[in-house]
Chain A
Amino acid sequence: MILSYLLDALMLGCIYGLTGVAFTLVYSVLGMVNFAFSAIFMIGSYVTVLFWVDGLNVLGHQLDLPDLGFVPAVAVGILVAGIAGVCVDRLAYRPLRRAPVLTLLTASLAAQFFLQGLGQLLFGANQSAFGNPVSGSFPIGQARVANIDLVIFAVSAATMVGLHLFIGKTPLGRGIRATAQDQATARLMGIDTERVIMVTFVVASMLAALAGILYSTKYQFVSASMGQIPALKGIVAAVVGGVGNIRGTFVGGVALGLVETCAVAYMPNGSAYQDVVAFLVLGIVLWVRPQGLLGIRVMERA
C-alpha cells in the first residue's frame, strides 16, 4: 500500500512540477504570474484529441481531422500550445511591458478566462473522453504499477534534464538567465530581450501543455476547465520550491504531491480536504521560509 501511495505522490508531483516550472520560467523574465497557463494546459490536450481520437464535437459538429497517431498528435498539440503562449504574450502582455505588475496580472487572468471561454464555446462545457494510449500495468509485490505512471516519470525526468541543459548550456538559455537577472543590463549588453521573452513563452507554454497532456493521458479526459486546479498547484509548487528556481520548483511539485497523498492516506477523512492541505503547506512554507525550500538568493533566479 505504501508503494501505491508513493507512486501516486510522485506521479502527481511530476505533473505539478512541470506546470510549476512553466510559471517559474515566465516569472523569472517578466516578474509576473501568468495565469493563462491554466488554459494553455488544456490546449495541448484538445489539439491532441483532434488529431488522434474521433468523436470530439467542435461547435456541435463532428470535425474529422486526419488521425496522426498518438505521439505525432501530441507533438502537434505541444506546438500549437507553444504558439498560443506566444500569441498571448504578443497580444495581452507586450503592450503592457512598462505597466505595473498588477496590470499584467489582471491581463493574465483575462487571458485565462478568454481562452477557457473559447474552449467551452468550441468544445462544450462537458468533459470529453481522451482515450487510453498507455494502458496496462504490472505487479510489484502487492501493488500494481500502471505503465502510464512510468511514462510520466520518464517524460518528466527527460524534460527536466533537457530544460536544464537548454538553460545552462545554450546561448538562448544564457540569454534567458541574463534577462532573468537584470533585463535592463541584459539589453545594454546587446541581448535581444524581446526575443528571449518570446522563447521563454514558447518553452514555458510547451511545458504547461506537456503537463496537461500527461494529465489527460493519466485521467483519460479533457475539459475546458481541467487546468484550473493543477495550475494553482503548479503555482504552489513554484512558491514552495522557490519562485524563479527551476529545480526548486520541480522539487516543490513533488513535495506537494507527497503531502497531498499523505493527507489522503493517513489523515481521517483527509481526501475531502487534500486541496486545503496543499494550501496549508503553502502558508507554512511562506511563513517559515519565504524564499521557498530551495530559493537561496534573489539573484539566482533562472
Chain B
Amino acid sequence: MSKSRITAIALSVTALATSALSGCSSGSDSASTGGGSGSGNQIVLGFTATLTGDFASYGVNVRNGAQLAIDDINRAGGLDGKKLRLKIEDDQGKPSNGPVVAQKLCDDGSVKAVLGYSFSSVALASIPVVNQCKLPVVASSVTSPKLSGISPYFFRNVPTDAAQGLQYGDYAASTLGLKKIAVLYQQDDYGSGAATAFIKGVEASGGEVTYKAAYQVGTTAFQSQIASAMGSGADALYVGGFYTEAAKIAQQARAAGFEGQLLGIDGSLANELMKLGGPAVEGMMAYGTFVPSIQTATVQKFVAAYRHEFGDEPTSAAALGYDALQLVARAIKDGGDTRAGIEAALPKTRLTDGITGANSFDSKHDRIAKIYFVKVSHGQFIQAQGES
C-alpha cells in the first residue's frame, strides 16, 4: 500500500510541475475585458474548475459542455441581443486556490454568475467569499453532502450520490422485484455513500440486504465474498464501486455459478467495463445522469455537436456543464443579467429538456433528478426498461 502511495505522490509532484508550467495559459483569454463592468452587449459568466493535472478531465469536460451551450445560445442571437462569454480560471484542484479564484471573480464586476467546480473541497473553501459578494454559483461536478444547503448563492445540477443511490435501491426492489440483495462496496466516501443510500432505498421498498462487505480499491480476489453472498441466498449482487473491481466481481461471480442480477453504479458506467469484463458483465445494470447511447433527439444532437467540436465522446460531466449553462441562461432571462437577479431566479428555474433530463433544485439547492438506468446488452449500454 505504501508504495502505491509513493507512486501517487511522485505522480502528483510531476503533475504540479506540469501545471505550474502550463497553468498561466488558461486565464489569459479573459484579460480583454479588464475591470470594466457592464460591458454593453455581452454577459460574462465566470468558470472555475481543475483544468490541469491528473484530475483535469472532469473540469475540462464541464468547460467543453458549457462552451457548447454558449455557442448554441450565441448562434441563436444571444440573450436579449447580448452575447454570452466565459471567463475561465484554473483552481488546480487545490482548496487553497478556492477563495483566491472566487475573490478574483467577485472583484470583476462584469461576472454575473460562476459555473464549474471539480472538487467539493475547493467549492467548500470558496463559499465564504461567494457569500460575501453575493455571487451565484451553479456547480456541475461536486457531490459532497456537506454542500447541501450551505449557502443561498450555491446551487448544483449534479445529483448527490445519496439521491442517486436511493432511487436505485427503490428501482431494484420495486421495479426489478429483487428482494434479496447482497451488497459489495468500495471502502471510501464514494462507495460507502452510494451503498448506504442504496440499502436505504431497498429496505424502504420492502427488499432485504442479505450480505454486506466492503473492499479496498485495487482488490482482485473476491471469491470468498461471493461465496458468502451466494450462501446468504441473494438473488442479486450489488457492486458499489469502479468498473475495474466491478468487472472482476462479475467474472468471479459468474465463474462461481451465480446466476442472479448484477447491479453496478455510475462508477461502472464506462465502456471499459465491457472491455475488462467481457461476457460476464452482459446483463449487468448501472445508472447515470447522462447516457450517450440514449436515443432522444436532444441527447443525440448534443452528442453529435460535441463530437464535431471536440473530437471526443461527451461524458456526464460535459452534459452537466451544458445543462448548468442553460439553467443560468434561463435564470438571466427570468431575473435579468445581474447577480441579484440570477440569484433570485435560480431556485425557481427549471430546465425541462436538458441533456441530463429535467433540471431543477430542491430547497437545499441540490438537483432534483431522475437518473437513467442502463443495462449491458451485446457489449453496449442500453436504456433499461421501466425508467423511474
Interface residues in chain A, defined as those with a beta carbon under 8 Å from any beta carbon in chain B: 1, 4-5, 7-9, 11-12, 38, 113, 116, 126-129, 132, 135, 137, 139, 143-144, 146, 148, 215, 219-221, 225-226, 228-229, 232, 261, 264-265, 269-272, 274-275
A4:B256 contact, CB within 8 angstroms? yes
- Secondary structure call for the B interface: helix
B216 CB contact (under 8 Å) in A11, A137, A272:
A272
B4 close to A (CB within 8 Å): yes
A1:B228 contact, CB within 8 angstroms? yes
B223:A8 contact, CB within 8 angstroms? yes
B7:A113 contact, CB within 8 angstroms? yes
A221 CB contact (under 8 Å) in B216, B231, B255, B276:
B276
A275:B216 contact, CB within 8 angstroms? yes
Given contacts A219-B220, A272-B187, contact A129 B276 (CB under 8 A): yes
Interface residues in chain B, defined as those with a beta carbon under 8 Å from any beta carbon in chain A: 1, 3-4, 7, 10, 187, 213-216, 218-221, 223-225, 227-228, 231, 244, 247-248, 251, 255-257, 272, 275-276, 278
A19 to B276, CA, bound (A): 25
A137:B255 contact, CB within 8 angstroms? yes
B251 CB contact (under 8 Å) in A38, A128, A143, A220:
A220
A271:B215 contact, CB within 8 angstroms? yes
Determine the chain B residues whose CB is within 8 A of the CB of A228 once the complex forms. 3-4
A1 to B224, CA, bound (A): 9
- Secondary structure call for the A interface: helix
A8 to B228, CA, bound (A): 12
A129:B227 contact, CB within 8 angstroms? no
Given contacts A129-B275, A275-B216, contact A225 B187 (CB under 8 A): no
A1 CB contact (under 8 Å) in B221, B227, B244:
B227
A146 CB contact (under 8 Å) in B10, B214, B216, B256:
B256
B214:A271 contact, CB within 8 angstroms? yes
A126 to B221, CA, bound (A): 18
A221:B248 contact, CB within 8 angstroms? yes
Nearest 10 A-B pairs (CB), nearest first? A4-B227, A272-B214, A8-B223, A264-B224, A144-B257, A271-B213, A219-B220, A1-B231, A272-B187, A146-B255
Given contacts A1-B231, A143-B227, contact A269 B213 (CB under 8 A): yes
Given contacts A220-B276, A269-B214, A272-B215, contact A137 B7 (CB under 8 A): no
A219:B221 contact, CB within 8 angstroms? yes
20 pairs across A/B with beta carbons < 8 Å? A1-B231, A5-B227, A8-B224, A9-B224, A12-B221, A127-B244, A129-B275, A132-B251, A132-B278, A219-B251, A221-B220, A221-B247, A225-B7, A229-B218, A232-B1, A264-B228, A265-B224, A269-B213, A271-B224, A272-B213
User: Which residue on A lies nearest to B228, using beta carbons?
Assistant: A265
